[in-house]
Amino acid sequence: MEPRKTRVVIAGGGTAGWLAAAVLARQLGPLLDIVLVESEDIGTIGVGESTIPTVRAFHALLGLDEREFMSTTGATFKLGISFENWAHDGDRYIHSFGDVGKSTWMGDFQHFWLEARRRGLAGELGDYCFEHQAALDDRFATGPNGKLNYAYHLDAGRYAHFLRARAEAGGLKRVEGRIAKVDLDAESGHIEALVLADGQRIEGDLFLDCTGFRALLIGEALGVGFEDWGDWLPTNRALAVQTVSTGPAVPYTRAIAHDAGWRWRIPLQHRVGNGLVYASDFLSDDEARARLLESIEGERLIEPGLIRFRTGRRMKAWQGNCIALSLAGGFVEPLESTSIHLIMTGLTRLMQAFPFDGVSPAVVARYNEQSRGEIERIRDFIILHYHLNDRPEPFWRRQREMAIPDSLAERLGLFVESAQAYQGPEDLFRVSSWLQVLFGQGLTPARYHQLARLIPDDQLRQALTDLKTNIDRAVSRLPTHQAFIQDYCPEKTEAA
């Protein structure tokens, strides 16, 4: 007799629910009986229209064809984020997805660059990064010989619909309905079933909570607490609006600081996503709406939608037989486009330690520890952008003067004292990411490795010149981002 299939119940649709459904069906489908429960009456939060390069590896697990995915969803390519006015009004830097310069076993590139800058031999840090320069020049290409590290801008609604179609084609069962009650086992405290408003009872062995900020399973039913990070990240609202494109799509997200937060501009093929993130203690909803509408370009396609959020994390991502994904498990605001990544890593860890034979406390503890470490390191990276600033407004002054997490303070101390940056085992962001933001926000190390002092002027100058020349030559050979999209993955008209 064949072993009984493990019953997986996914509570909620949207990007999180349908990513879970699609990847579990593809990778473990014959071993599972998967049901997704969602209500058409409950809207999804469609702010997340920007991703990071890890999305491509997860798409490979899904077996997605890049051109089909991009054409269907109207996606564009992303080489990084342009941060404007963050350190002070008028400044700009790009946090790109590329490696900066070339490093040695003894010292990373920044040590050589700092010594070259001291001697007047070096250009800007971004001069030595392929992705940075391609973004600045609005150029892009991919393919068998493509060397650019990239992600996507995507339409969250179309993306969820695209994933749903694939999952349902693979036999996934979707149940329409609103969750009215969560039945728990009196002895174990585990979830037995979801009871819908129409009386249906959906039983399962493992439940994935994709119910957004409501966290109906992990929070309301199982009582897992929430650790609030509002003291470090006080932005708690976002207004989002879509507009008609007014020009070619650039291969980067724009994040533009204002006196109480920042606003985004994300170019898709069929429209532009715009939004304003702010702290309600420093800006009213009416003022925020007026400011957003003043800043947009092109005809408005929808009325601005208000999203209230709280930064922080569930104390446990996995409790009993329930795993929280996406907003149900935590949120660190959309600044570095990490929300979809956290869904994907949560699902990857689940597949690697899937509880076919029942829940193991040791596995759950390890899963929770990894999840906690990952989201806390992301939190620190986001705080970094706010903390290092010279802006005069009360909001920014508060961020500059506040006490920061010890883990971030230790990193900043290491960088200031020795110009060292690192990527730890739970860190999403690489050394080059830390360097681009640290230098971009205006932090200058007091000391750095003296290895570069051994290199004569002419040799150091030539090495940097050759590196920049090779990058400039490679960028000049790329088509424009808009031209490449039109040739490679033009939007399907029936998806409009």
Torsion of CA 200, 203, 206, 211, to 10 degrees: 10
Catalytically active residues, by annotation: 78
pLDDT tens digits for range 232-279: 999 999 999 999 999 999 999 999 999 999 999 999 998 999 999 999
Mean pLDDT score across all residues of the chain: 94
User: How far apart are alpha carbons 367 and 323 in whole angstroms?
Assistant: 10
pLDDT of the residue at 46:
53
Order of strands across the sheet with 201-203?
Answer: 179-184, 191-196, 201-203
pLDDT of the residue at 495:
39
pTM of structure: 0.95
pLDDT band at 472 (very low <50, low <70, confident <90, very high): very high
pLDDT tens digits for range 446-463: 999 999 999 999 999 999
Q: Long-range contacts for 469-478 (Cβ within 8 Å, ≥24 apart)?
A: 471/127, 471/128, 471/129, 471/130, 471/133, 472/133, 474/130, 474/147, 475/130, 475/133, 475/134, 475/137, 475/139, 478/134, 478/137, 478/139, 478/140, 478/141
Lookup: tokens for 354: 């899937």
pLDDT of the residue at 312:
97
pLDDT band at 376 (very low <50, low <70, confident <90, very high): very high
What is the average per-residue pLDDT within 72-85?
97
Q: Where is pLDDT greater, at 169 or 260?
A: 260
User: How far apart are alpha carbons 70 and 88 in whole angstroms?
Assistant: 36
User: How far apart are alpha carbons 110 and 444 in whole angstroms?
Assistant: 11
What is residue 446's DSSP assignment?
Answer: S
| Domains defined along the chain, listed by start | 6-49+155-229+311-359 (3.50.50.60), 237-308 (no CATH)
In the chain, the percentage of residues whose pLDDT exceeds 70 is 97
User: Does 375 score more than 90 pLDDT?
Assistant: yes
pLDDT tens digits for range 120-157: 999 999 999 999 999 999 999 997 656 899 999 999 88
CB under 8 Å to 61, separation ≥6 — which residues?
A: 23, 26, 27, 348
pLDDT tens digits for range 484-496: 999 999 998 653 3
**357 sits in which H/E element:** none
